[in-house]
A and B are shown apart, each in its own frame.
Chain A
Amino acid sequence: MKARAFDYARPASVAEALTAFEQADGDASYIAGGQSLVPALALRLQAPARLVDIAHIAELRGIAVEEGWLRLGALTRHVELHDHPLVATHAPLLALAAPHVAHPAIRNRGTLGGSVALADPAAEFPAMLLAMDAEMEITGPEGSRRVPAGDFFQDLYQTALEPGELLVALHIPAAGPGHRCAFDEIARRRGDYALAGCGVMLTMPGDIVDEARIACLAVGSTPLRARAAEAALIGRRLDPDSIRKAQSALADDLDPPDDAEVPAAMRLHLARVLLGRLLGGMAEAA
């Protein structure tokens, strides 16, 4: 299929981008890497009158640590999350998840901001941002604001972004050497959308879990924080018993979709298997 005809604007600044969007009377889409939007256009699932190409706006780029926060420009490519030393040090969950995101050609073009703004519940980065208590920096005609990840992902493909607003950057509390991270997912084929995925970040001074953050993907209509599973670990040793309790608690955390191909019970089962394997591996490494 061929996309419907559209008008194309390539602003040089965020201010110009907001104006270009506004001028289309709401019938516009921002485009950056285009890895989800271009297929949607070709399939005519989306047919905006105007595309506002933000890929050339310098202020949307950049990776830096400022006052204990890692700032990732919205145009940060997936491949940069995989390769950049600051990401590896301060947001290791993103670096661990990056190789699981699609294929190299897609990772070279796809942007972190695009993945977050689309909010596919099976996407890796949104869930990891949720695990890390990231904040989304949003600019719009009404000004700028920061929205915590927990408030940002609202429903299936629904986020806190209002029409015309632009995701500018992601801010992540910088992790330190005390954080231990693990990520894995289960997919039918390498690079496919996962049947279930899970990221874990623990702080364990000594052998007691002080802080636990667990986020899962592909097991609900949004990325999900597994608070009950986290609670099952905090204040305990990472041993077979606490791991089993955390696995069991996932039933309270997750709300997997049910379909003929992948029943809800299977997604829950897979998330439990994953969590068990991740925690088991972390216990072994401890």
Chain B
Amino acid sequence: MNAPLGSLDRPNSYIGRSVPRPNAKRLLAGRGRYVTDLVLPRMLHAAFLRSPYAHARIASIDTEAARAMPGVRLVATGADLAGLCTPWTGTLDHFKGMKSAPQLPLPLEEVLWSGQAVVAVVADSRAQAEDAAEAILVEFEELPPVTDIDAARTPGADRAASGIEDNLCFRTRLDTGGLDAIFAGAAHVVEEEFHFGRHTAVTLEPRAILADWDAGEGKLTVHHATQTPYQFQDLYSRHFGIAEASVRVIAPDIGGSFGMKLHVYHEDMAVIGLALMCRRPVKYVADRMESFVSDIHARDHRVRARMAVDAEGTILAMDVDDVTAIGAFSTYPRTSAVEGNQVVRLMGAPYRFRNYRAELSVVFQNKVQTSQYRAVGHPVACAVTERMVDLAAARAGLDPVAMREKNLIPDEAYPCDSPTGYKFEALSHQACLAKLKALIEYDALRAEQAALRARGIHRGIGIASFVEISNPSPAFYGIGGARISAQDGATLSITPSGEVRCLISVTEQGQGTETIIGQIVADQLGVAREKVRVVTGDTETTPHGGATWACRGAGIGGETALQAARRLRDNVLALAAAILQASPGQLDLRDGRIVDAMGGAERISLAEVARIAYFRSDTLPPDTNAQLSITHHYAPQGYPFAFTNGVQGCHVELDTDTGLVKILRHWVVEDCGRIINPLLVDEQVRGGVVQGLGAAFFEECRYDAGGQLTNGSLADYLVPMACEMPDIVVGHVETPTADTVLGAKGCGEAGTAAASAAALNAVNDAMAPLGGRIAQIPMTPARLLKSLGKI
């Protein structure tokens, strides 16, 4: 066990290997168990009557007819539930001056977006609940909807919610000073106004919850399609006044989450209340139409940006103004201000310039609330920065790659910090760019582009460097007062047969968390991977932890597993030494056997050690207490975040007559530190790229001026499909973080972070000879035809 991590020539050397996911076969065989699949005795179903208006006062609610409908067990209004659940407010203390109206499961007097749940019906079947919901009469008095970010901020503007004094949720400014003089003296200044559409996660499995209140025991069990069961255990406990240890949250198989399933949703809180009132299990599964009007949305930013460069093309400064539209209140408990905050703090992050000014305004609207979704803020910051770099390169007469080579932070310059205060331990922008340039055969591709242009074929090449935030410390939420853990915990046991159980707080939503945890435990303990069973997603059995978000599963969860496995290994060796009358230092655990550390001769099997410990402790030396289970916690120390980095390339062909873009190929070179499973890292990157390309070309929640979502179905909201997606080539540079033994950083958001930026640059590159220019995503055919002057 003295070989370095990542060395693949040891027995059980799983770290760094592309092993398949143990759960893949089960899920493919249709044996997954999602919340939707669960059926409990006496289970009822909930449905909701939703507001047809973006903003209205509730004048009256008449539920009498609905209560008399077949199968109906309960009809509950906001007032009925308000007595059971304390209100919540989506603010964090470290966002100074942030405000938001308090929220309840269902509204009392005012609806704040079209699609907001207003009245709940519980019935024997979902169909019956929906029948009854249609029979509820609600009298709404329409109020003016707030749907425009500029009008919302004018003095005396209509307010998105009556509980706030104006529509500004949060504002922050960053300024390193002297920007006006730098811009005034710069050889070149480029500027652009960017628009980033709203989009949403569109998980294959929608939100789902099944709440079961055992009144006899005073115990609440919630089967919940979430990525953060501990956060919800805490919230259900505190808002419903149930002891924490009496709340059990189980997250079974989850069909995708992407950040969308870690927020508090009104329906979910209502369902807990309904289960308490009915004293029977109550299930609610959002259908696709409900998902579009109640799952969090993301992005929706307008960014005005300027960049100053000197005559040689060295970037001097950036100046940005970001206005982002959220819902009528900020999401709880992680807020709707994190995305904007990350936009203004990640801007320009890969580059050397030191002068920066930014203003962020987070504005309330009568629309679905926005919040954290895969790559929070990154795609906006990256697209703005990278487009400005391309514009500046063109002005300075530099090739886009040469411009980046000139301005990226050199790989030997670390550690360093960004003008916005982020601290970078060790990044590899230059190495990644060099590798990308070779991968895409950049010079040949440019030559081909020129030749094709002469024939009227318009192809474009886009490059985008990025950083990604991973492994967050308590600096993310803890310091803001949110009870969201930055640490993770694992309980490891040797079973009587010498197998291993690992109960860990990081969770699985399809990305392979359980696979990599199993790899790490088997590798570090010295057993075959098949002997390790990983259990996640149950607050009753696994230690409390942060679970899965912000790319923390591998870096923090993985380090927790590594340290836990090493401690357990020490215990095993100490026990084996007692049995063998040897010294622990002379022994090693390899492939399930205790061997001589020198020479490797087998002394005793792990199974035999376990048998003796559990069944024949009488044969052990006096005072030997076998500790074959350990619980271990790990919280990130050192840098507040482990930043990762990389660069993406996108190659597109633009049909200048139709505005359709064919994405020919996409490349990513990324550095997530230690790679635990190359297969899973590549698939994370590819999936992330697809979501980024979806944002770039297809996905947009479109609202009309009245606050109505006009494309809330999968027929009208276009998600990227396999036919339109290119081959995605993934390369790696590995710079492990020195903050942990494992050295892993996150990789789940890298693909999404820069794919839309690379695509934006590629399309602009294709249009450049035609005089077209676009700074809005998604880049729809209509927008491209307009920018080409065709319509």
Contact = CB atoms under 8 A, between A and B. Distances in A.
A266 B660 contact: no
Contacts of A262: 782
Interface string B126-138: 1100110010000
A57 B159 CA distance: 60
A282 interface: no
Given A4-B131, A43-B289, A269-B790, A189 B658 contact: no
Contacts of B728: none
Contacts of A261: 702, 711, 780, 782
Interface string B662-701: 0000000000000000000000000000000000001000
Instruction: Kindly state the interface size class of chain A when it binds its partner.
Output: 20 to 34
A186 interface: yes
Contacts of A286: none
Nearest to A190: B723
Contacts of B289: 1, 43
Contacts of A269: 785, 790-791
Contacts of A3: 127
Interface string A242-286: 000000000000000000111101100110010000000000000
Contacts of A270: 658, 781
B141 interface: no
A195 B781 contact: yes
A65 to B, nearest CB: 35
B417 interface: no
B657 A2 contact: no
Interface in B638-665: 657-658, 660
B130 A190 contact: no
Contacts of A43: 289
A163 to B, nearest CB: 24
B715 interface: yes
B702 A4 contact: no
A3 B724 CA distance: 33
B287 interface: yes
Contacts of A263: 782, 791
Nearest to B702: A261
B3 interface: no
A191 B719 CA distance: 13
Contact of B721 (A190, A195, A260, A273): A190
B285 to A, nearest CB: 11
A193 B710 CA distance: 16
Interface in A128-145: none
A107 B441 CA distance: 42
A85 B724 CA distance: 31
A192 interface: yes
Contacts of B782: 261-263, 266
A265 B130 CA distance: 41
Contacts of B724: 189-190
B755 to A, nearest CB: 17
B718 interface: yes
A266 B789 CA distance: 11
Contacts of B721: 189-191
Nearest to B658: A186
B177 to A, nearest CB: 43
Contacts of B657: 273
A131 to B, nearest CB: 22
Given A190-B723, A261-B780, A266 B127 contact: no
Residue of A191, A263, A269 most packed against chain B (CB within 10 A) = A269
A4 B126 CA distance: 11
Nearest to A262: B782
A93 B408 CA distance: 56
A20 to B, nearest CB: 23
Contacts of B660: 186, 188
Given A4-B127, A269-B790, A188 B287 contact: no
Nearest to A186: B658
Contacts of B718: 188-189, 192
B723 to A, nearest CB: 4
Given A192-B718, A269-B791, A2 B698 contact: no
A105 interface: no
Interface string B703-729: 010000011000100100101100000
Nearest to A43: B289
A1 B285 CA distance: 10
A3 B715 CA distance: 19
A1 B287 contact: yes
Interface string A190-210: 111101000000000000000
Contacts of B126: 2
Contacts of B704: 260
A185 to B, nearest CB: 11
Contacts of B790: 269
B781 A188 contact: yes
Residue of A191, A263, A266 most packed against chain B (CB within 10 A) = A266
A274 to B, nearest CB: 8
Interface in A204-232: none
A235 B134 CA distance: 60
A224 B658 CA distance: 21
A265 B704 CA distance: 20
A193 B715 contact: yes
Contacts of B711: 261
Contact of B127 (A2, A188, A190, A273): A2
A193 B718 CA distance: 11
Interface string B767-791: 0000000000000111001000011
A260 B127 contact: no
Contacts of B134: 44
Nearest to A195: B781
A266 B791 contact: yes
Nearest to A270: B658
Nearest to B705: A260
A192 B710 CA distance: 17
Given A269-B791, A273-B657, 12 more contacts: A1-B287, A43-B289, A186-B660, A188-B698, A188-B780, A189-B723, A260-B704, A261-B702, A266-B781, A266-B782, A266-B785, A270-B658
28 contacts: A1-B130, A1-B287, A1-B289, A2-B125, A2-B126, A2-B127, A2-B130, A5-B127, A44-B130, A188-B660, A188-B780, A189-B718, A189-B723, A190-B723, A190-B724, A192-B718, A193-B715, A195-B781, A260-B702, A260-B704, A260-B710, A261-B780, A262-B782, A263-B782, A266-B785, A270-B658, A273-B657, A273-B658
Interface of A: 1-5, 43-44, 186, 188-193, 195, 260-263, 265-266, 269-270, 273
Minimum-distance CB pairs A-B, first 8: A2-B127, A190-B723, A273-B657, A266-B791, A265-B791, A269-B791, A1-B287, A2-B126
